[in-house]
Amino acid sequence: MTRRIFRRAGAGKTVLLWAVSLLFGLSDRRAGDTFGGHFAAVLSDQYYMVFAVLPICLALFGGLMEDDPEPVLLRHGGFFRYFLCKWRSECVLTVPLWAGQLIALALSGVGLPAGGWGRETRVLQLLAGIFPGPWTTAVCGAVHLLAGYCLVALLTLWLGHFLPRAGAVGALAGLYVLTVLQMRLPAMAQPPLAYCTNLSHWVLMLHNLTEPWRFPLTAAVTAVFVTLSLLSVRFAWRGRFSGGEKRPRGLGAYYRRALFSRKNTVFLPGLTLLLASWTFLQSGGVGSGREWALTLMAGQGTGRFWLPGMLAQLVSQLLPLWPLAALVSEAVGGASVTLAVRLSGKRELTRALLGTAAVWLALWLGLTLCVLLAPPILAGEAPDVGLALISLALRGLDMTFQFLLLLALMALTGSAAAGFVLLTAAHLACALPLTCWPVGLSCLARLDVTGGTVSVGAAAVELAACCVAAGLWDYFKGTRFLFEKNGG
């Protein structure tokens, strides 16, 4: 695949990019430049990136975006594997393209003295306030550019499969026009229209440094795009080609198909929107990024009963577990053929259930991250990324422990409803003065970084230990009880 990609790409566009880089670098030399300052300045020049680099890259990857013949697809054993292999090959193609470009820019600075930043410009002053020196800036800019090339390659591949060639070329041209417009129209450089100019944010590190909200915006849009593209390729490819795909087999694939039904896939985004809307109305707006994260993830403290916090905690942590409980009840019901197998087979079923639950909880956490970051960005505020990641990581451990606890309660009582009643009681126990009570420990109201009494490290260690203990019991002991209580 990689050799075929290199042959199809040819050398013309690559040599053109190297020549343009050398000429642009030579034209950008100024009096008072140093070698490192010149290199960092060229890599941060938006005219060079948008008007010289982007068109050549779009032309190069656009010529590779069509699908290969059916025998090539079938040889890879699956459409998703073929797509990943082709994207990997195009990422390999970007390495010599990128390396030659850097060599050309370095040649354009030959003869300049070594030293600091050199000439005084607004861009270099901005970079000097962020990075310790020009070479650090140049290295970060170069790595950012290489990652941008890989993302542009993914974008062209994705458009080339799901759109006709004329439509894919038109979409790329439209995105490029929006990228050019954001250089001239101030409204295009501000949210929400800035979402549409991510091509320049991918290849030009400087665009992510001019405002506090730009880097989180680029990271969020990139994460959503990569996730959407890979999921659409994985599950929607058959719209274009119907032969040779190997359907996933095994208990895990069966349970994932059962869990991710149309009703359940609407349930999670709807619940996320409900929580975000409720929080927005309760707080009267977004405010700062830290205030938004505190309002959304505060939950219930200890030693008191606060009804809004308790309701938010129950909705955000218990409701996402309801489809998992329904799946477990169906999986261990008497109609399942798997119940007749030996104990190792039952443990295999438990492994499949735990893996499916991990995917479901990861999706819920991803949606929660979106509502943590997107509203402050849309309001023109910088989100508190550190607090968001801390609360999200602890929320993942907390909900994992609650699911494992729910599984244990279902094994002991034989009823999902009884499990939820007991788990609700465990949440209500947060109102007691029990500082280290594990259920609901991820709520920001209980952590010292937001005025609580429990440190983040202690909460993480406690929740991780609870997850390990509950997981081991569920796997080695709970499996037997789960089947016995449900007729297996």
Same structural domain for residues 43 and 180?
yes
Examine residue 268 and state whether it is found in any structural domain, yes or no: no
The pLDDT score that the predictor gives to residue 335 is: 44
Residue 246 lies in a domain: no
212 and 288 within one domain: no
Q: Count of domains in the chain?
A: 2
Report the share of the chain in percent with pLDDT over 70. Answer: 89
215 and 286 in a single domain? The answer is no
Query: What is the Cβ-side half-sphere exposure of residue 339, based on CA atoms within 13 angstroms?
Result: 17
Query: Is residue 253 in some structural domain?
Result: no
Computed on alpha carbons and rounded to an integer, the radius of gyration of the chain in Å comes to 27
The single-letter code of the amino acid at 132 is: P
pTM of the model: 0.57
Q: Are 199 and 296 contained in the same domain?
A: no
Output the six-digit token pair for 388. 């968001």
Q: Of 319, 299, 322, which is closest to residue 428 (Cα–Cα)?
A: 299
Q: Which residues contact 370 (CB under 8 A, 6 or more apart)?
A: 220, 224, 272
Q: Following DSSP, what letter does each residue of 301-355 receive, concatenated?
A: -SSS--HHHHHHHHHHHHGGGHHHHHHHHHHTSTT-GGGGS-HHHHHHHHHHHHH
* DSSP-derived secondary structure for 258-274: HHS-HHHHHHHHHHHHH
Give the residue with greater pLDDT, 120 vs 16. Answer: 16
Output the six-digit token pair for 34: 């140093």
Percent of the chain residues past pLDDT 90, beyond the cut? 21
Q: Which residues of 126-140 are buried (b: 16+ CB within 10 A; e: fewer)?
A: ebbeebebbeebbeb
Domain boundary among 224, 239, 254: 239
Question: Coil, strand or helix: which one is 447?
Answer: strand
Check whether residue 282 and residue 205 sit in a common domain: no
Q: Is residue 259 part of a domain?
A: no
Domain of residue 144, residue span? 2-239
Within-domain flag for 250: no
pLDDT in tens, 416-475: 888 889 999 999 988 888 888 999 999 988 888 887 888 999 999 999 999 999 999 988
| Single residue among 215, 239, 263 that ends a domain in this structure | 239
- Longest Cα–Cα distance of the chain, Å, equals 84
Would the pLDDT of 8 be above 70? Answer: yes
Nearest to 116 by CA among 41, 35, 43, 209: 35
Q: Give Cα 72 to chain centroid, integer Å.
A: 30
d(CA 485, CA 488): 8
Do residues 19 and 93 both lie within one domain? Answer: yes
Using H for helix, E for strand and C for coil, what is the string for 403-423? HHHHHHHHHHHCCHHHHHHHH
Same domain, 180 and 313: no
Does 192 share its domain with 278? no
**Predicted pLDDT of residue 341:** 47
Residues 302 and 219 grouped into a single domain: no
The residue out of 196, 216, 239 marking a domain boundary is 239
Q: Which two tokens stand for residue 26?
A: 């030579």
Take residue 218 and report the two structure tokens written for it: 């680029």
In a domain, 452, yes or no: yes
61-82 in b/e form (b: 16+ CB < 10 A) is bbebbebeeeeebeebebbbeb
Closest residue by Cα to residue 354 from 371, 335, 331, 373? 331
Tens of pLDDT, residues 365-392: 988 988 888 888 877 778 888 888 899 9
Q: Are residue 234 and residue 295 in the same domain, yes or no?
A: no
Q: Does 251 reside within a domain?
A: no
**Token pair 């735990």 is at which residue?**
354
Assess whether 314 and 183 both reside in one domain: no
Q: What residue type is assigned to position 454 of the chain?
A: V
Judgement on whether residues 31 and 96 belong to the same structural domain of the protein:
yes
Q: How far apart are CA 416 and CA 430, in angstroms?
A: 22
SS3 per-residue string spanning 419-444: HHHHHHHHHHHHHCCCCCCCCCCCCH
pLDDT band at 337 (very low <50, low <70, confident <90, very high): very low
Residue 417 inside a domain? The answer is yes
Q: Tell me the per-residue pLDDT of 465-487, one tens digit each, with 9 for 90 and over.
A: 999 999 999 888 877 777 665 44
- Over residues 188-209, the pLDDT tens digits come to 677 666 666 668 889 999 888 8
Tell me how crowded residue 305 is: count the other CB atoms within 10 A of its CB.
Answer: 12
Q: What is the pLDDT of residue 241?
A: 42
Q: Please tell me whether residue 66 adopts helix, strand or coil conformation.
A: coil
